[in-house]
């Protein structure tokens, strides 16, 4: 990301940018940054945009060959560019070994071939889905294939994923708050992160709602977060687990019933509980072995701040309790899947037993 910022600051641009990764917020932000720097608002003469199937139009090459006309002057030399934005092209897994038409080339092959000969006055911006996979292609960006290789060789291939570090996210959110003349209490931040920290888009949306909700009041408190932010299913599963740890039957069934009202199936609730208990067991055992949050996060496939938030939850159970729940819940899930138990009855029996 810094490399794109440096290009924008210097006014010296590459002819090919590949923006990819799992964090949609960052991808859209940096796409916008590039377009704002390179294209005048409303310029349809020098800017073209293509999505998905449209990206396999051979006419893209003709556009790329067209010299820009009265485009936005860029950089110290006032260079002008024709900018072509291609989103979700599916080119990430396209190789020359794919089936070809009578001409010997597919449209995708022709465009990929062309990326090695982009005119100095043309800039391609690709925005692709997902992260790099070294094994699976399925239309996603892959280091072994030509789109990534072309961008890595002559341009910029930038992966954008959600930051793994809580402090990075905290600085980002608090900078937004500061710009609005707002502050957030520590307990409110912890709750806000737990409720919204699945992706940056969600965090940004919920923050804007909070800022609007508090109005002229300077400080955002825990009650504001609880009133405004939407509880995801994950958060309710966490709270259900807390209720089990507290042996609070009434609270457990209140949360369970709210999930049912939200159209969650009992079988799905049980599966999610099993998934969380497995992670809590790993957090507990690896934590006892002195492993860091980053070490544990890599094993369970979550961010390090997820581990940090769940260490206290894991401590509320003994290793034996976690293992016993997993064994019984796994047996119940098997019986549900094989028709031996009614899913509603199975989950309710489990909740009663563990509260």
CATH fold of 233-354, please? Answer: Zinc Finger, Delta Prime; domain 3 (1.20.272)
Residue 271 confidence (pLDDT) above 50 = yes
Q: Flag whether pLDDT at 259 surpasses 70.
A: yes
Query: How confident is residue 241, by pLDDT bands cut at 50, 70 and 90?
Result: very high
With vertex at residue 303, the alpha carbon angle to CA 299 and CA 307, rounded to the nearest 5 degrees, is 75
CATH number of this structure's domain 2-159: 3.40.50.300
CB 12 within 8 A of CB 165: no
Report pLDDT for 214. Answer: 95
CA-to-CA distance for 181 and 333, rounded, in angstroms?
50
Q: Average the pLDDT over 41-55 and give the result.
A: 88
At 142 the pLDDT is: 66
**Dist CA 270 CA 214 (whole Å):** 37
Whole-angstrom CA distances from 154 to 289, 342, 346 are: 46, 59, 58
Q: What is the pLDDT of residue 133?
A: 43
The domain limits of the chain are: 2-159, 166-228, 233-354
Which of 118-127, 134-143, 163-172 is predicted least confidently? 134-143
CATH number for the domain whose boundaries are 166-228 = 1.10.8.60
State residue 72's pLDDT score.
Answer: 96
- Position 134 confidence tier, pLDDT thresholds 50, 70, 90: very low
The CA distance from 74 to 227, in Å, is: 47
pLDDT above 90: percentage of residues in the chain:
73
Task: Say if residues 284 and 317 touch (Cβ distance below 8 Å).
Answer: yes
Contact (Cβ atoms closer than 8 angstroms) between residue 71 and residue 40: yes
Helix, strand, or coil (residue 42): coil
Of 89-98, 170-179, 215-224, 237-246, the poorest mean pLDDT is in 89-98
| pLDDT confidence of residue 69 | 93
- What count of other Cβ atoms lies within 10 Å of the Cβ of residue 121? 17
pLDDT of 101? 53
pLDDT digits (tens, 9 = 90+) for 65-79: 999 999 999 999 999
């Amino acid at each position: 990301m810094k490399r794109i910022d440096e290009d924008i600051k210097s006014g010296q641009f590459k002819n090919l940018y590949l923006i990819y990764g799992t964090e949609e917020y960052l991808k859209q932000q940096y796409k916008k940054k590039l377009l704002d720097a390179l294209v005048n608002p409303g310029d349809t003469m020098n800017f073209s945009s293509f999505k998905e199937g449209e990206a396999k139009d051979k006419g893209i090459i003709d556009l790329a060959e067209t010299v820009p006309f009265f485009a936005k002057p860029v950089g110290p030399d006032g260079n002008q560019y024709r900018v072509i934005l291609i989103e979700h092209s599916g080119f990430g897994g396209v190789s020359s070994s794919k089936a070809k038409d009578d001409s010997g080339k597919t449209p995708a092959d022709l465009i990929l071939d062309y990326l090695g000969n982009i005119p100095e006055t043309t800039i391609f911006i690709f925005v692709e889905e997902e992260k790099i996979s070294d094994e699976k292609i399925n239309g996603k960006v892959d280091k072994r294939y030509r789109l990534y290789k072309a961008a890595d060789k002559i341009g910029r291939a930038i992966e954008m994923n959600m930051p793994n570090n809580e402090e990075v996210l905290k600085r980002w959110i608090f900078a937004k708050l500061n710009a609005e003349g707002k502050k957030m209490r520590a307990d409110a931040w912890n709750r806000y992160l737990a409720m919204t920290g699945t992706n940056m888009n969600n965090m940004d949306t919920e923050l804007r709602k909070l800022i609007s909700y508090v109005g002229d009041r300077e400080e955002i408190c825990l009650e504001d977060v609880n009133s405004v932010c939407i509880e995801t299913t994950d958060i309710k599963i966490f709270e259900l687990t807390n209720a089990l740890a507290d042996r609070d039957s009434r609270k457990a069934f209140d949360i369970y019933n709210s999930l049912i009202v939200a159209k969650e199936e009992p079988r799905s609730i049980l599966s999610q509980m099993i998934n969380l208990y497995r992670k809590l067991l790993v957090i507990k055992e690896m934590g006892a072995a002195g492993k860091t949050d980053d070490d544990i996060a890599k094993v369970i496939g979550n961010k390090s701040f997820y581990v940090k938030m769940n260490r206290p939850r894991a401590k509320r159970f003994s290793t034996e309790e976690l293992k016993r729940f997993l064994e019984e819940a796994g047996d119940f899930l098997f019986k549900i899947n094989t028709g031996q138990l009614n899913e509603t009855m199975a989950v309710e029996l489990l909740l009663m037993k563990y509260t």
